[in-house]
Amino acid sequence: MAEVQLRGVSKSFGGLEVIKGIDLTVASGEFCVFVGPSGCGKSTLLRMIAGLEEVTDGEIRIGGRDVTDAEPSARGIAMVFQNYALYPHLTVAQNIGFGLSLARMPKAEIEAKVRAAADTLQLTHLLDRKPKALSGGQRQRVAIGRAIVRDPKVFLFDEPLSNLDASLRAEMRLEIADLHGRLDATMIYVTHDQVEAMTMADQIVVLNGGRIEQAGTPMELYRRPDTPFVAGFLGSPR
Of the listed pieces 43-51, 69-77, 135-143, 226-234, which binds Mg ion according to CB under 5 A? 43-51
40 vs 161, which CB is nearer to ligand ADP?
Answer: 40
Q: How many angstroms from the chain centroid is the CA of residue 230?
A: 22
DSSP 49-72: HHTSS--SEEEEEETTEE-TT--G
Q: Which residue is nearest to Mg ion (CB)?
A: 43
What, of Mg ion, ligand ADP, none, does residue 201 touch, CB below 5 to 8 Å by kind? none
Q: What is the signed CA dihedral for 206, 32, 55, 37, rounded to 10 degrees? A: -30
Instruction: Catalogue the E-assigned strands of the chain.
Output: 2-13, 16-27, 31-35, 57-62, 65-66, 77-80, 154-158, 186-191, 203-208, 211-216
Q: How far is the CB of 225 from ligand ADP (least distance, A)?
A: 20
Q: Give the one residue of 43, 120, 140, 203 binding Mg ion; rule: CB under 5 A.
A: 43
The CB-of-43 to Mg ion minimum distance in angstroms stands at 3
Rounded least distance, CB 34 to ligand ADP, Å? 8
Q: Does 44 bind Mg ion (CB under 5 A)?
A: no
Provide the binding-site residues for Mg ion, judged by CB under 5 A: 43
